[in-house]
């Protein structure tokens, strides 16, 4: 590895003469302790001095640091060799002599001695961060050369006259290639546990030598030692100003970084003289999953902290000023960079301009004409703002440390294309079964071969590093397929992916914030105005959820949450969501139309089978939809009318009649509404379970027809005028036809399996910072309890009938008679 072979065993006097250095008592050098360093001055009084280091046998037997400069932060070796002296053979290397240099520990102590206030100590933290940034950059350069230092500690990091840091004692460096034996010398306190177990138990010998196979060494050993060094230095600061520095953002960042450097070997609790190796809210197993795997990643994070590198500067969509913008909704516009424009103008994406955001509601709310195209841009705009807030969250450094440019780009791009597979009646068809979710289509549309006006497929735009997004398509698909609300994120080994996905799919995600506000305003409902978007976004943070599942097992997640001062704004989303479900999404006319459409398609779904065919990714019914949309071909605008036309041709006679009524906007009418907790004889949950039994609607229809026929024999009561033959005859005929009675009983839509968590601002827990994430964090009662209860109220059960049947049927049976038939059908 060395670029220059060490001198052979020449007398030291000769070596020093060749170097032009003064000769002094060679016997004193030979008798000096191992690893002693001596200053040598060349013959000229003005010549710079050099340091002669006497090495241990283990160090010198395989000196592998190359001569010359590797990096400005690595102390170079100018010469090395073995020499004979009157007292025997010695090993040596020659390095620059750093006049008036101090170790990093000495320099830090000197600064602490000169300060009295914690405010001044905060400036010292900034200085320390700059020096650690230099150390990480230097070690990265060393690792790039295939060398590990193996004895990193504060005493081997020297501060030069110009104030910059340099890594010394490079004689301990070893190349990691090969399986031969090599000797190393390390310091017990800073040694990785894998190496520490091989050391002698002699307590007095903190610095010891080892001989071991080269393949047992790792760059991780340097990362661990740097982490222990940072904790050692932070302990000095915390001892000087106990209880106040943990609230300093830089201190918190450095503490988290150090804990992540320990390779999962974090001690469960700090000793009496040390800072905790567990960052508040995380445990040892979680830190093992979040550990640094390269010095380059460590250096990258220090560059973020010092401002030497800013991820947002590498992502044009996050630029706060300049560039083109597109107004997608009230408030701030969305950035319209070249690569955003390439996506939204591509035929695969632009087809969303014909897909209504809320289907069938334009007949009830005529202004509800907005589309999935607008919504996708709005969710993307929100994602830009969410990332800006989280990247500048000074109280919790988790997000900024864990994400890089690739993560942020995937989140922005994923938000933009998350609804790519949506189509008219998409959500309605999803209610038919688990195989019909639009997310599968969204991912497959990314492979569509259609080319835009520039001749590029959407995949090429995504993967092009120069004129596109530079993201592998597989990474984007993996992000879009990440399920939310799984039992334990950390069991899946993808905590960062899950954290990012919670921004797209969670209680306060970018998707909900857009569609709740947009749908409310486009329908001229005032509910969306109750959401204070500005306050919500500026108070976002990442929380570490520690919960218990139904079996009492603790589960853990990194996900999007909010500080307590953003609590009203965050919880407003849950209440507005309930109001819109009550008023808009589950409006009785909308539910009637959706129930009719599902009834028209039900025989087609049944005929196509229960599951995807062997070797196919799609259920046969879903494969037909994919062909209609052009998922694997050239897609075109698909309107609500196109979908109705497509299935009208395939449906049976009753199905075609239902579709014709939908097209004419003649929706089925309610004859019974079942509310939760209304005191009705019909319990909503029993009704939901009954409607899932095959043939329940037909059983109820036959019971209603029989009772209606019986009622016609006695034309008495206030509704007798509605039961004249000219009215009852057509009603009886309608009741004789299939699918003229339909039941609808949706399950409560919670919106996210994850819970909404709040954490207090650090200043509120000045005496128990270490317990902040445990005693301070809490689950939103509004989301967890009130919202779930409200959505249960909104999820009504309904029985619909043909629009020409309602008046005669209720006149004959009355509400009580209809309920009797429902109860009887539920018993069958």
Name which of 688, 681, 667 is nearest 795 in CA terms: 688
pLDDT at residue 512, rounded to an integer = 95
Give yes or no for a contact between 237 and 109, defined as CB atoms under 8 angstroms apart: no
pLDDT at residue 152, rounded to an integer = 95
By three-state DSSP, how is residue 263 classified?
A: coil
The 10s digit of each residue's pLDDT in 3-46 is 444 444 566 666 666 655 555 555 555 555 455 676 666 656 66
* pLDDT of 276 strictly over 80: yes
Q: Which residue has the higher pLDDT, 550 or 623?
A: 623
Q: Which residue has the higher pLDDT, 474 or 85?
A: 474
* pLDDT of 572 strictly over 50: yes
Q: Tell me if 184 is assigned to some domain.
A: yes
pLDDT at residue 58, rounded to an integer = 66
Q: Which residue has the higher pLDDT, 289 or 207?
A: 289
- Counting Cβ atoms within 10 Å, is residue 183 exposed (0-12), middle (13-18) or buried (19+)? middle
Mark which of 266, 289, 306 sits at the end of a domain: 306
Same domain, 411 and 386: yes
Which residues have C-beta within 8 Å of that of residue 70, sequence separation ≥ 6? 76, 141, 142, 145
Q: Tell me if 579 is assigned to some domain.
A: yes
Range with the lowest mean pLDDT among 266-275, 530-539, 571-580, 652-661?
A: 266-275
Same domain, 394 and 424: yes
Beta bridge pairs of residue 714 = none
Same domain, 392 and 538: yes
Q: Tell me if 649 is assigned to some domain.
A: no
The 10s digit of each residue's pLDDT in 538-567 is 999 998 877 666 666 777 788 999 999 999
Stretch 774-796: mean pLDDT: 81
By three-state DSSP, how is residue 584 classified?
A: helix
Same domain, 32 and 15: yes
How far from chain centre, in Å, is Cα 98? Answer: 46
Q: Which residue has the higher pLDDT, 115 or 721?
A: 115
Mark which of 279, 306, 333 sits at the end of a domain: 306
How far from chain centre, in Å, is Cα 440? Answer: 20
For residue 267, what is the domain's CATH number?
1.10.510.10
Stretch 352-362: mean pLDDT: 91
pLDDT at residue 489, rounded to an integer = 41
CA distance 80 to 15: 10
Beta bridge pairs of residue 798 = 673, 744
pLDDT at residue 722, rounded to an integer = 63
Q: Which residue has the higher pLDDT, 680 or 816?
A: 816
> How many residues does this entry show for the chain?
828
Which strands form 669-674's sheet, in the order they lie side by side? 669-674, 797-801, 741-744
pLDDT tier for residue 452 given thresholds of 50, 70 and 90:
very high
pLDDT at residue 533, rounded to an integer = 94
Of the chain, the percentage scoring pLDDT greater than 90 comes to: 53
pLDDT at residue 6, rounded to an integer = 45
Six-digit token pair at 746?
A: 């949706």
* pLDDT of 320 strictly over 90: no
CA distance 158 to 656: 83
By three-state DSSP, how is residue 458 classified?
A: helix
pLDDT tier for residue 674 given thresholds of 50, 70 and 90:
very high
C-alpha distance from residue 130 to each of 127, 136, 241 (Å): 5, 10, 21
The 10s digit of each residue's pLDDT in 110-154 is 988 887 665 678 889 999 999 999 999 999 999 999 999 999 999
CA distance 229 to 578: 52
Same domain, 455 and 581: yes
Stretch 758-772: mean pLDDT: 59
Same domain, 54 and 68: yes
Nearest 10 degrees: Cα torsion 634, 636, 640, 645: -60
Sign of CA dihedral 426, 432, 438, 444: negative
Q: 787-814 in b/e burial notation, b at 16+ Cβ within 10 A?
A: beebbbbbbbbbbbbbebbbebbbbbbe
Instruction: Look over the chain and give the mean of its residue pLDDT values, rounded to a whole number.
Output: 85
pLDDT at residue 359, rounded to an integer = 86
pLDDT at residue 50, rounded to an integer = 77
Print the domain residue range for 42.
7-96
Same domain, 452 and 586: yes
The 10s digit of each residue's pLDDT in 92-108 is 788 888 878 899 999 99
Same domain, 380 and 454: yes
For residue 414, what is the domain's CATH number?
1.10.3210.10
By three-state DSSP, how is residue 5 classified?
A: coil
Q: 740-759 in b/e burial notation, b at 16+ Cβ within 10 A?
A: bbbbbbbebebbbebbbbbb
pLDDT at residue 719, rounded to an integer = 53
For residue 76, what is the domain's CATH number?
3.30.200
Same domain, 300 and 340: no
Of the chain, the percentage scoring pLDDT greater than 70 comes to: 84
* pLDDT of 423 strictly over 80: yes
Any idea what DSSP says for residue 21?
A: B
Q: Tell me if 737 is assigned to some domain.
A: no
Six-digit token pair at 389?
A: 């807030």
Which residues have C-beta within 8 Å of that of residue 42, sequence separation ≥ 6? 19, 20, 21, 22, 48, 49, 50
pLDDT at residue 740, rounded to an integer = 95
Q: Tell me if 688 is assigned to some domain.
A: no
Question: How many independent structural domains does the chain possess?
Answer: 3
C-alpha distance from residue 231 to each of 149, 188, 394 (Å): 19, 15, 20
Six-digit token pair at 728?
A: 């009852």
Same domain, 77 and 156: no
Quote the longest CA-to-CA distance of the chain. Answer: 132
Q: Tell me if 344 is assigned to some domain.
A: yes
Same domain, 323 and 287: no
pLDDT tier for residue 84 given thresholds of 50, 70 and 90:
confident
pLDDT tier for residue 803 given thresholds of 50, 70 and 90:
very high
The 10s digit of each residue's pLDDT in 467-491 is 999 999 999 999 998 655 444 444 4
* pLDDT of 775 strictly over 50: no
Residue-wise DSSP of 521-567: HHTT-SGGGG--HHHHHHTEEEEEEEEE-TTS-EEEEEEEEEEGGGH
Give yes or no for a contact between 371 and 301, defined as CB atoms under 8 angstroms apart: no
* pLDDT of 520 strictly over 90: yes
Number of C-beta neighbours around residue 523 at 10 A: 22
Same domain, 397 and 505: yes
pLDDT at residue 2, rounded to an integer = 41
CA distance 128 to 138: 15
pLDDT at residue 580, rounded to an integer = 95
Six-digit token pair at 428?
A: 């309605």
* Region for residue 762 given its phi and psi (left: phi exceeds 0; alpha: psi -120 to 50; beta: otherwise): alpha
Give yes or no for a contact between 718 and 810, defined as CB atoms under 8 angstroms apart: no
* Region for residue 129 given its phi and psi (left: phi exceeds 0; alpha: psi -120 to 50; beta: otherwise): alpha
Number of C-beta neighbours around residue 470 at 10 A: 15
N-to-C CA span, the chain? 84
- As a whole number of Å, the CA-based R_g of the chain is 36
Q: Tell me if 738 is assigned to some domain.
A: no
Six-digit token pair at 798?
A: 């309904």
Stretch 504-532: mean pLDDT: 94
Range with the lowest mean pLDDT among 352-356, 516-520, 665-669, 712-716?
A: 712-716
Angle separating helix axes 620-629 and 640-650, nearest 10 degrees: 140
Beta bridge pairs of residue 797 = 674
- Which residue, chain included where needed, has tokens 């979040």? 290
pLDDT at residue 768, rounded to an integer = 44
Stretch 609-626: mean pLDDT: 79
Stretch 510-538: mean pLDDT: 94
Residue-wise DSSP of 730-766: HHHHHHTSTTSEEEE-PPP--S-SSPPEEE--GGGGT
Mark which of 255, 279, 306 sits at the end of a domain: 306
Q: Tell me if 625 is assigned to some domain.
A: no
CA distance 726 to 712: 12
**pTM for this predicted structure:** 0.89
pLDDT tier for residue 81 given thresholds of 50, 70 and 90:
confident
Stretch 368-392: mean pLDDT: 95
pLDDT at residue 3, rounded to an integer = 43
H/E segment holding residue 159: strand 157-159
The 10s digit of each residue's pLDDT in 383-395 is 999 999 999 998 8
């Amino acid at each position: 590895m060395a670029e220059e072979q060490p001198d052979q065993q020449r007398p030291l006097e000769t070596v020093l003469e060749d170097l032009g250095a003064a000769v002094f008592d060679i016997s004193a050098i030979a008798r000096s302790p191992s690893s002693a360093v001596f200053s040598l001055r060349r013959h000229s009084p003005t010549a710079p001095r050099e340091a002669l280091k006497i090495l241990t046998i283990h160090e010198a037997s395989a000196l592998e640091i190359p001569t010359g400069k590797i990096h400005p932060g690595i102390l170079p070796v100018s010469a090395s060799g073995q020499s004979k002296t009157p007292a025997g053979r010695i090993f040596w290397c020659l390095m620059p002599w750093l006049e008036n240099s101090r170790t990093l520990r000495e320099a830090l102590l000197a600064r602490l001695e000169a300060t009295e206030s914690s405010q001044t100590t905060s400036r010292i933290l900034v200085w320390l961060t700059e020096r650690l940034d230099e150390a990480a950059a230097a070690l990265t350069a060393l690792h790039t050369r295939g060398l590990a230092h193996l004895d990193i500690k504060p005493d081997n990091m020297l501060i030069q006259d110009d104030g910059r840091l340099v890594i010394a004692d490079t004689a301990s460096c070893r190349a990691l290639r090969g399986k031969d034996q090599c000797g190393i010398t390390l310091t017990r306190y800073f040694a990785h546990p894998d190496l520490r177990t091989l050391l002698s138990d002699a307590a007095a010998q903190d610095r010891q030598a080892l001989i071991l196979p080269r393949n047992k060494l790792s760059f991780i050993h340097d990362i661990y030692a740097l982490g222990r060094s940072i904790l050692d230095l932070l302990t000095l600061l915390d001892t000087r100003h106990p209880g106040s520095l943990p609230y300093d953002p830089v201190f918190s960042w450095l503490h988290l970084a150090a804990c992540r450097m320990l390779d999962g070997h974090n001690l469960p609790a700090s000793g009496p003289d040390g800072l905790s190796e567990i960052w508040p809210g995380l445990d040892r197993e979680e830190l093992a999953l979040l550990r640094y795997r390269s010095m380059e990643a460590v250096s990258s994070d220090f560059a973020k902290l010092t401002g030497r590198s800013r991820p947002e500067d590498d992502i044009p969509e996050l630029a706060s000023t300049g560039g083109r913008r597109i107004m997608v909704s009230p408030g701030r516009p969305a950035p319209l960079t070249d690569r955003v424009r390439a996506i939204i103008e591509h035929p695969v994406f632009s087809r969303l301009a014909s897909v209504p955001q809320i289907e069938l509601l334009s007949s009830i709310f005529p202004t509800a004409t907005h589309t999935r195209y607008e919504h996708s841009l709005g969710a993307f705009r929100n994602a830009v703002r969410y990332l800006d807030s989280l990247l500048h969250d000074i109280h919790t450094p988790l997000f900024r440390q864990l994400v890089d440019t690739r993560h942020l780009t995937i989140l922005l791009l994923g938000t933009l294309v998350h609804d790519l597979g949506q189509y008219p009646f998409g959500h309605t068809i999803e209610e038919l079964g688990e195989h019909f979710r639009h997310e599968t289509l969204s991912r497959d549309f990314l492979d569509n071969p259609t080319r835009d006006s520039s001749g590029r497929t959407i995949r090429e735009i995504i993967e092009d590093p120069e004129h596109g997004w530079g993201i592998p398509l597989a990474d984007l698909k993996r992000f879009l397929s990440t399920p939310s609300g799984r039992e334990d994120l950390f069991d899946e080994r993808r905590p960062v992916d899950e954290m990012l996905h919670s921004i797209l799919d969670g209680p306060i995600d970018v998707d909900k914030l857009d569609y709740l506000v947009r749908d409310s305003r486009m329908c001229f409902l005032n509910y969306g105005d109750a959401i204070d978007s500005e306050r919500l976004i500026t108070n976002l943070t990442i929380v570490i959820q520690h919960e218990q599942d139904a079996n009492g097992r603790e589960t853990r997640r990194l996900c999007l949450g909010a500080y307590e001062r953003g609590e009203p704004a965050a919880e407003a989303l849950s209440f507005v969501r309930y109001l819109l479900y009550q008023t808009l999404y589950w409006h009785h006319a909308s539910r009637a139309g959706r129930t009719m459409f599902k009834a028209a398609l039900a025989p087609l779904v049944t005929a196509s089978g229960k599951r995807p065919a062997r070797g196919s990714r799609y259920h046969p019914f879903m494969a037909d939809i994919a062909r209609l949309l052009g998922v694997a071909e050239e897609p075109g605008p698909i309107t609500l009318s196109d979908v109705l036309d497509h299935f009208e041709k395939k449906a049976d006679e009753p199905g075609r009649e239902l579709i014709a009524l939908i097209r004419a906007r003649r929706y089925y009418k309610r004859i019974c509404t079942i509310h939760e907790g209304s005191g009705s004889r019909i319990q909503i949950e029993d009704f939901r379970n009954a409607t899932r039994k095959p043939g329940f609607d037909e059983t109820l229809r036959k019971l209603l027809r029989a009772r209606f026929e019986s009622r016609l024999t006695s034309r008495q009561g206030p509704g007798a005028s509605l039961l004249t033959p000219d009215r009852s005859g057509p009603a009886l005929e309608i009741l004789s036809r299939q699918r003229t009675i339909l039941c609808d009983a949706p399950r409560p839509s919670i919106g996210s399996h994850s819970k909404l968590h709040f954490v207090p601002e650090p200043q509120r827990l000045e005496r128990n910072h270490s317990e902040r994430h445990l005693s301070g964090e809490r689950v939103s009662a509004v989301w967890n309890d009130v919202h779930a209860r409200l959505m249960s109220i909104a999820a009504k059960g309904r029985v619909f009938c043909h629009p020409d049947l309602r008046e005669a049927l209720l006149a004959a049976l009355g509400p009580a008679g209809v309920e009797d038939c429902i109860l009887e059908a539920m018993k069958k």
